[in-house]
Amino acid sequence: PRYSRITGTGSYLPPRRVTNAEFAAELAQRGIETSDAWIVERTGIRARHFADAHVTSSDLALQAARHALEAAGRRADEIDLIIVATSTPDMVFPSTACLLQQKLGVHGCPAFDVQAVCSGFVYALTVADAMIRTGAASKALVVGAEVFSRILDFNDRTTCVLFGDGAGAVLLEASDTPGILATELHADGRHVGILCTPGNVSGGKVLGDPLLKMDGQAVFKLAVRVLEEAARAVLAKAGRSDADIDWLIPHQANIRIMQGTAKKLHLPLEKLVVTVDEHGNTSAASIPLALDQAVRSGRIQRGDTLMLEGVGGGFTWGAVLLDW
Ligand code: ACO
């Protein structure tokens, strides 16, 4: 049998780091009241990175991809599949994956975007794994890249303090041994309205509201439930149990959701990889950013079992279980 295995990780954060205190001071100038204490207590977020106005998702993706290729010891021209997960693409079309391919200086291999908001990386990894197992690809570059700052409503304190910009990437290669043990994806379009950026371009204008809207409490409740279900399902598929998980790397949206999920899986909090404090919610980029940090810091070791879990707008959710 043919499996897929991550052979390199990389990530990139735009240099401008904004702490809660700095952000609160900026918002206060426009009459919007928030505080470091409120943000930390409700979300665990202490700072986020924001890209400058001219920097796009494909720019961030390029840096993360270069680091992942370097870690895997591969050249860009060896890649035979590029998938980018993003909800903040550079353009309506072509895809951010095609723009990334061009920036990497390569051509020919299939390249496309996956749109599943904060579940995007788990969706993209699942598609790449399936394509590798069928023989359609053997060296896939899978990236999550976002500039959520572009779609934030800086007059809405209930959402603008939650998100940040960044990118993470992995190289996924064909292997005789797993690698990825099992994957699980879901969506429920009945919940479109609780988390959305409903605007679009039409007739040369922006049609509808192009800024992010969220019913935070509805998202919170749904997220905790579906993350446990997805984790249980993926463990069952792989014939593994809670006790086999060495590292839980969930989408980094809110520390309370993440800790709630760890608790339901009976995992001590030391096994939870946390970057939300420094990155905020970077949507599709959050899981590969967290993975790369845990790999580079030496915490994740060969043979460890990792549970990656995403949840986001759509509503979408899913999990990937893998051996490192
Ligand atoms: N600063 C200060 N006060 C605030 C802020 C702020 N930034 N934002 C809201 N408040 C106020 C509210 O106005 C409200 O005041 P009131 O009681 O006078 O009306 C009070 O704080 C409490 O607001 P709630 O909305 O009840 O706060 P809650 O405890 O639910 O926390 C939060 C809000 C953090 C958004 C939480 O609901 C949450 O994390 N939800 C999940 C969000 C999430 O994970 N989203 C990402 C999903 S992934 C994706 O696809 C993007």
Q: Does domain 180-323 have CATH number 3.40.47.10?
A: yes
CA distances from 202 to 88, 195, 198, 199, 205 (A): 17, 22, 13, 9, 5
Residues contacting 152, CB < 8 A, separation 6+: 159, 160, 163, 211, 212
| Whether the CB of 219 sits within 6 Å of ligand 1 | yes
Pairing outcome for strands 139-147 and 165-175: antiparallel
Which of 124, 53, 52 has its CA nearest to residue 86? 124
| Alpha-carbon gap, residue 194 to 205, rounded angstroms | 25
Pairing outcome for strands 247-250 and 305-312: parallel
pLDDT interval class at 16 (50, 70, 90): very high
CATH of domain 3-175: 3.40.47.10
Map tokens 């998938």 to a residue.
Answer: 83
**Residue 118 annotated to the active site:** yes
With beta carbons less than 8 A apart as the criterion, state whether 278 and 165 touch: no
The dihedral built from the CA positions of residue 239, 244, 249 and 255, taken in this order, carries a sign that is positive
How do residues 87-125 score in pLDDT, each as one tens digit?
999 999 999 999 999 999 999 999 999 999 999 999 999
**Residue 155 annotated to the active site:** no
Catalytic residue among 67, 109, 160, 251: 251
The runs of H, that is alpha helices, within the chain are: 20-28, 36-43, 57-72, 96-104, 120-133, 157-160, 216-238, 255-264, 276-279, 286-296
| Whether the CB of 177 sits within 6 Å of ligand 1 | no
- Is pTM beyond 0.90? Reply is yes
Which of 53, 312, 306 has its CA nearest to residue 183? 306
How do residues 38-52 score in pLDDT, each as one tens digit?
999 999 999 999 999
| Residue of 219, 227, 286 with the most ligand 1 atoms within 8 Å of its CB, for mutation | 219
With beta carbons less than 8 A apart as the criterion, state whether 180 and 129 touch: yes
Q: Say how many Å lie between the CA of residue 286 and the centre of ligand 1.
A: 20
Both tokens assigned to 271: 């096994």
What average pLDDT does range 135-150 have in this prediction? 98
How do residues 195-233 score in pLDDT, each as one tens digit?
999 999 999 999 999 999 999 999 999 999 999 999 999
How confident is the model at residue 182, as a pLDDT? 98
**Residue 251 annotated to the active site:** yes
| Alpha-carbon gap, residue 71 to 69, rounded angstroms | 5
| Mean pLDDT, all residues of the chain | 97
Q: What is the ipTM for the molecules in this complex?
A: 0.92
pLDDT interval class at 78 (50, 70, 90): very high
Residue spans of the domains in the chain: they are: 3-175, 180-323
Q: Say how many Å lie between the CA of residue 179 and the centre of ligand 1.
A: 37
At residue 80, the 3 state secondary structure works out as coil
Which of 317, 192, 160 has its CA nearest to residue 250? 317
With beta carbons less than 8 A apart as the criterion, state whether 79 and 109 touch: yes
Which of 208, 209, 220, 234 has its CA nearest to residue 125? 234
Decide if 3-175 and 180-323 have a common fold: yes
| Alpha-carbon gap, residue 129 to 10, rounded angstroms | 18
What average pLDDT does range 248-272 have in this prediction? 97
How do residues 176-201 score in pLDDT, each as one tens digit?
999 999 999 999 999 999 999 999 99
